[in-house]
Structure formats: structure tokens, C-alpha cells
Structure 1
Amino acid sequence: MRILWTLPYLPWPTTSGGKTRQFHLLRNLAARGHRITLLVQSKSELDDDTRAALEPWLERLIVVPRRPLRSARTLLAIAFARPPMLASANGFSPQLQQQFEALLQEHWDVIQIEHSYSFQPFEAPLRRAGKSFIMTEHNVESGLGAASYHHFPDWARPFTRYDQWRYRHWEERVFRQTRQLIAVTEDDAKGLSRMTSRATSLVVNGVDCDYYAKVCPDRYSRRLLFIGNYEYGPNLDAMEWALDHIMPKVWAIDPMVRLTIGGYALPHDWPQRWGDPRIDWLGFVPDLRTVQNEAAIFFAPLREGGGSKLKVLEAMAAGLAVVTTEQGVSGLKVVNGTHYLGCEDAHGLALLLVEALAQPPRLAKIGDAARAYVRQYHDWSVSAAQLEGIYAQVHQQEDTHACA
């Protein structure tokens, strides 16, 4: 199939869950013979490394620069336009709209749009051309609440409530126009189906199981690991909660436990804010296997967010035992005590960590069960097959409609 795929970010380097998902789905679909043109609106420039990573899988890569977040156009749109804040920041781009309109003059078997917040520049061209499209919604954005407005001060709460109201209306407007709507978890699919009164498809988040297959965690190391993208509010909240309320309780029982914290956009002031020498601070880690081999547990004390967590799936694929919350395993069909260890309060998580670190054989058993689960249900080949099936179904329906 010829596929026109749009994204509001370059999917390389894979510094976030969304970028990781996009890169691997594009790669898997291209490997299955589909011809993909990728249209990206990006806040970062297309460098040689990114071009080299993406172009082998694409028929064409077209990148349109996104205007600065604090531009007058963006600020005015956020304050006064009908789309909500996130959609306004990614919308109202004449250059992107013109490029998309030109591409619509070609024949496409599938038009794939990611995220409702990216939709504003595409709405009018699609309507004028009479083209149908598929949309993947990674989270129900209007329901994320604190996760979306993490950096806002308390005095801005009236605006955040207003913006959530705008987003509910925006979602209803966008989703009504889709030929097929796709979610990444069953819970989100059910929620979107209630919102739209029609079926929502599912394409699960995945992981490159072969890539992590040879990782051998050091279950005797007494080292915890967390990796995240700190542009995402729930990851900031998770580590602040861990460092303020959980780790002090852990160290009061076992002062030899170490914690490695890494990932993209790690706040510069954190090493000074939490200066404990038992914390190892890393930036972006290109190859997670290097740090997974040194850890005993992947610790993900997430309290906010949505979708299924790629960092948790990657840890499970590496055979790491995961200690987390219900939010940390949202969207996964895993069992507490079998595939992971979970608790919801700081004291309980601290005890769980200390007890687990003292039982390396138990860590091995949980890690092995999680690795088997992920390989069966969440390899990227599974996700790509699900998406390919949706494409085929929609394409067949359109052919039948055309013949009629």
C-alpha cells in the first residue's frame, strides 16, 4: 500500500514512547513492503543521523519546521482559538497545510494521522479533497488532567479547566471525521468508543524483543533503574515522589541500595537538589542494554499518565523485574506478583523494593515471566500486524463502497 503518514515530531532519536512507537511501526511496515511518505512538523532540525535512521524505511521524508512555542501566532491561538492549547501550538501552520494539500493530489491507499492535537492543519484540505483518514490517539488527552498541565501554577487552574473543556469538544469534532480510530490500550479503546458511539480499533504498544533478548540483569547488584523522557510531566512527578518520599524510606532500611536515573531532558538542577552519592545521574542513554545489565530492578513509581508505558515494556523485554504502580502497568494484561511487583503508596513501595532486592531468585522468576509475556503479546511485529489488518479492512471497505 501507498501510505501518507503525518507526525508532529521526528521519530528519531527515540527519546520518548511516542517516537519509539512511530519508528518501529514505520520500520516494520516498510519491511512488509508498504511504501510510506512521512510528513513531519518538527521543532528540531533534520540532522544527518536522523535522516540516516529514517530514510531507508521511507519512500519520502518531508519535514516542515514548527514555529517557536512562544511566537505571537501560538500565544494568540492558545488564548482565543477554538482548538485547545496543544492543538493550537501544533496547528495554524500555512506551510504544513499547503504541503499536505499538495500531497493529497496523489493517490494514497491509507492516510494515517497521529494524535488529535496535530489535526488542525489537515482538517480543511481533507474536507475539500473528500479524503478519508485513519487516526491513532495515543492518550485520551482531555482526560489526562494533571499530566497535561504539570508545569502550570495553581493560579492558572481556571485556564486548565477551560482548556480541558476545549479539548473534549475538539476530540469529539476530530473523531467524528475519522474513517477509523485507533487506540493503544483496551481501556482507551473502550473510552473512545463511548465517546464516539462506534468501535475503536486497537494497536498495542510494543518492544523490539530480539534487541533486548541477551540482556542479563545483575540481580545481586541492589541497583534500581529508571529511564524516562522528562519533557513528560508524569515522569517528573514519578521521580520527585521517589526521591522525596520513597527512597529515604528505602535507605533507612538498606543504605546500600543505589539508584540510576537516566533519560532525555533530565532537569539540570536535580543532581544539586538531590545530592545523595547513591544516585547515579545519566542523560539520554542511546543503548539501554548497558544500564539494564547493571540493574536488579526497574523502578517506575508512576502516578499519572495514560496509555501503556514503553519504558516498562522495554524493561520487561530485558528480563528486569519491575516494581511499579497500577498506572505503571496500565494497558498491560499482567498480574501483580507474577509479572511485576506493585503497590500504590510510598511506604509500601519502599518495603517492596527492599524485600525484592533481598531475593534475587524471586527477581529472576518475575523477570522471566515478564519477558515471556512481552514477547507473546507486545513485540513490534504484533503491533505492525494489527495495524496492517486495520489498513486492509478499511481499504476493502472503501473498494466495496466505490464499486457500489
Structure 2
Amino acid sequence: MARPTMLVIAPFAPLPDSGGGIAIYGDLQELTRRGIDVDVICYRSQRTSEELTRLETVCRRLVVVDGPPAWSPQVMFSSVMKRSPLVVARHFSSLMHITIQHQLATENYNVILTEFSFMFQFLFSYSRLSPRPVLAVDHHVVTPKVYEYFSEVERNPALALLRRIETPRLKHYLKRVLLAGDRHLFLGMEDLEYIKTHIDDSLDEEKLCYRPTGLLLDRYPLAEPDEEEPHTIGFFGAFDWEANVDAVSYFVKTIWPRLRQKCPTARFVIAGRSAPGNIRALGTYPGVEFIGAVDDMFAVVKRLAVVVVPLRIGAGTRLKILEAMAWGKPIVTTSVGVEGVEHQNGEDVLVADEPEAFADAVIALLNNPDRRRQLGLAGRRRVEQVYSAQSSVNRLIQAIGF
């Protein structure tokens, strides 16, 4: 019997050092382990040849295209002329289009999986062919939903206006994708509900699939309590994602003063790549330590008594929540921060939305090591039961019909 084949189209090289990269890399490794031949076409996204070698070990064939294009007047012009959302225009290139066409002309696939809806733009014409492979989309984020969140907290009037203009365009584009694709994978039940309520309530239910993110659990050792530094809390994540920039700025300026007033010995550690100047500057605040990019995030996280995830803008993989759980760390987050993650407030995570309540929840954990351990171990069990790469790929295979 011939081995099943799949083509994955991604907007970046999916290496396990960012939220989306961790999720996709885990899928590739698990699919390959199960005997499925997976080819990957992706933008180089400034990765070196040495870095890309690691990706070649988890797929049959890797095709890398230079790009994606940088933000530029040409991208803006293309968006206007094609009446497409900016994020879609931002990820278009003629070279990527040609590369995908060539690959589909020379190889037969059972499934084509596009990572993120904006990469489906290369398959609209292909979706009208018959017969053809199953066309699946792993949405990761519901982009108009993200823009609505950003509009609520955006202080720059020009950016707020831009997002209000872009939101209906994104909804229109997303509806086209939903109609053209065969299977659509979403990370949370909230995302599925948003699709039905705000995009199209007449979609075939069989098209819409709930598939939680999966982690390769052998990469996540359980942190030991004796490695913690007293009264030390922290946040980790990539700061090229605006939601993380907003979360950390909000925490330091709004929650941190309340927390320090009640617990003067508390320390806050910020770790993650691509931090802009305003995030690096937070390291000058009393008790705040900015680390930036690190090669081994676990070396930072195991120092922390509590992980905080004060997100106000929702969507995406919530990898920082799942990774902290996998490492056995207690977490205090917001309702937005834990949106899409299966959880029980008070059992495997603490949820607090108001600044004072958030600060109090953190302090209560700092003063109670047994409670910290209880929450951390419960979070680890949650990940083992729901968020392993094996269980996530099981749902993928069920959705696409392998």
C-alpha cells in the first residue's frame, strides 16, 4: 500500500522556537513517525541553512522560498489594488505562487495543509479543480477576531482606524477560505463559535474541526521546586507578536506596582526574542529583569515560582500557557489568556481579570509553595491528557481522512 502524502504550506520555517513553529514542528515530527510522507514549502523568514537542516529531519522534502516580503508601499498598493487584507498581501509573492504550482504539477498528494488562512490565497484556483487532494487549513488564529481585540486596547487613533477598516475585509476573505477549503482546524471552541456567529452560520459542520495544539512532551522536563528563586515570577514569549508586547507593558505599568506594594521582595523576569525598545526599557523598573532571547527557555522558567500570562488580546496557540503547564509551573492568567485552552480555574490555572485580583492571586501563590506545586502538577496532567502531539495529530488525521 502506498504511503499517504501531504503537502504543508507555511508562512515561515516552522522551527520549535515560537508558538506556531512549536506546534507545526511537532505535527511534522509525529506525522513522519507514523509513516506519512510530508513535503513542506515555506518562506525562509531569515533562517540560516544550518537552522533549516533541523527542519529537514522531520519531513521528506523541504522547499524554501525567499521572503516573505517586508512591509512596504508596494505591499500597501497591492492590498488596495487587489482589495485584499494587508496580512494577505503581506504574504504574497510570485515566487511562492510559482513554487507551489510547480510542486503540485510534479507530485500527487492526498492532502494539502495550509498553515494560517492567509496562505490559502495560493490555492483558490486549485480548489475549483476535480479531482484534487483534500484542502485543509490550520487556522492557528482567527485574524478578524484578533483585530477586534486590538481595536479595543489600541491607543494610537490611526492604528485603531486601520484595524476597524481591515476587520470587514478580513471577514470577507476568511469566508472565501472557509467556502473553498474542505477542512478547517481551529485551536479552541471559542474560535469555532466566532466563525459561526460572525463569519457564516450556514457552513457545513463537517468542515469545522476542533484540534488543540500538541506538544512533544519529551522536550518538557518537569521543573523541581528546589530550583525556584524565592518570590520570582516571569513572562516568556516572542515579542514580534503584538499581543505579548501589550500584555507585558500592561502588567508592568498596571499590575506590578500593586504587587510590589504588597510584596516588596517580588521580582519579575521578562524573556523572549524580538523585544522592541519599549519592552527592553521595562528592565529599568524596580524589581524587573529583562533577559531577552535565550537558547534554553527552560533554564529561565525553572527559576520562576509563578508564570504570569496577562494577555488582553486573544487568539493563537497559547503556547506559553501550555509550555508552562508542561514544565509543571503554576500560572496566573486572564480570561483572554486562557481562552481556547481546556482548563479548570482553581485546579490547573488561576484566572483573574482585574489588576488588583491578578496581583493578589500571584502573591497568594508566592506565599504558598504547596499550592504552587499542586497547580503545577495538575497543569502537567492536563497537557499529558489533552495537548500531546500524539493526540493532536490523531485529531488531524481523523479530520482529513487518512
TM-score w.r.t. structure 1 length?
0.90
Specify the alignment match of 1:181 in structure 2: 184
1:241 and 2:236 correspond: no
8 Å Cα contact 2:150-2:160 kept in structure 1: no
Give the share of equivalent positions with the same residue, in percent.
24
CA distance in 2, matches of 1:148, 1:243: 19
- TM-fit CA distance, 1:135: 1.0
- Separation in 2, partners of 1:321, 1:141: 29
Q: Comparing 255-264 with 143-152, which one deviates more in the overlay?
A: 143-152
Deviates more, 1:101-110 or 1:269-278: 269-278
- Structure 2, unpaired ranges of 5+: none
Residue 327 and residue 67 in structure 1: after superposition, are their counterparts in 2 closer, same or farther (change >3 A)? closer
Q: 1:365-404 maps to which residues of 2 (within 5 A)?
A: 365-391=374-400, 393=401
Q: After superposition, where does 1:147-296 map in structure 2 within 5 Å? A: 147=149, 153-193=156-196, 195=200, 197-199=203-205, 200-217=208-225, 218=227, 221-296=230-305
Deviation at 1:94, TM superposition (A): 1.6
* Secondary structure of residue in 2 paired with 1:245: helix
**Match of 1:133, SS?**
strand
Match of 2:38 in 1: 36
SS of the residue corresponding to residue 119 of structure 1 reads helix
Shift of 1:126: 4.4
Query: Counterpart of 1:100?
Result: 100
**How far apart, in 2, do the equivalents of 1:51 and 1:111 lie?**
21
Letter in 2 for 1:341: L
CA distance in 2, matches of 1:100, 1:274: 44
Is 1:66 matched with 2:67? Answer: yes
- AA in 1 matched with 2:210: L
Helix, strand or coil at the partner of 1:104: helix
Residue 89 of structure 2 aligns with which residue? 88
Residue 351, structure 1, aligned to residue 352, structure 2: no
Deviation sequence 1:94-138 (CA, Å, 0-9, x none): 211111111112211111111111222332344457634111111
Inter-partner Cα distance in structure 1 for 2:159 and 2:360: 37
Question: What amino acid maps onto 1:373 in structure 2?
Answer: R
Give the 3 Å change call, closer, same or farther, for CA 166–38 of structure 1 in structure 2: same
Question: Residues 11 and 23 of structure 1 are in contact (CA less than 8 Å); yes or no, is this contact kept in structure 2?
Answer: yes
Conserved 8 A contact 2:18-2:238: yes
Letter of the 1:23 counterpart: Y
Aligned residues: 390
The 8 Å contact of residues 206 and 310 in structure 1, kept in 2 or not, is answered as: no
Contact kept in structure 2, 1:151 and 1:233, CA below 8 Å? no
Q: Tell me the amino acid that sits aligned with residue 100 of structure 1.
A: I
Matched residue, 2:346:
337
Q: Determine if contact 1:185/1:307 at 8 Å carries over to the other structure.
A: no
Tell me: CA distance 1:274–1:263, structure 2 relative to 1, closer, same or farther (3 Å).
Answer: closer
Partner-residue secondary structure (3-state), 2:268: strand
Give the deviation of 1:236 after TM superposition: 0.8
Q: Give the stretch that moved more between structures: 129-138 or 112-121.
A: 129-138
Residues 70, 192 of structure 1: alpha-carbon distance in 2 compared, 3 angstrom cutoff: closer
Report the CA distance between 1:219 and its aligned residue. 5.1
Partner SS, residue 333 of structure 1: coil
Pair 1:151–1:53, CA change in 2 (3 A): farther
One-letter amino acid of the structure 2 residue matched with residue 186 of structure 1: M
Letter in 2 for 1:32: R
- More displaced stretch, 374-383 vs 283-292: 283-292
Provide the C-alpha distance between the structure 2 equivalents of 1:118 and 1:383, rounded to a whole number of angstroms: 21
User: 2:215 is paired with a residue of what secondary structure?
Assistant: coil
Q: 1:220 to 1:157 in 2, by over 3 A?
A: closer
Q: In the aligned structure 2, how far is the partner of 1:64 from the partner of 1:210? A: 31
Listed as ranges, the gaps of 5+ residues in structure 1 are 396-404
Distance 1:50 1:152, change over 3 A: farther
Q: Post-superposition shift, 1:168? A: 0.7
Contact in 1 for aligned 2:248/2:279 (Cα 8 Å)? no
C-alpha RMSD of matched pairs (Å): 2.1
Structure 2: how far apart are the matches of 1:169 and 1:58?
A: 34
Helix, strand or coil at the partner of 1:327:
coil
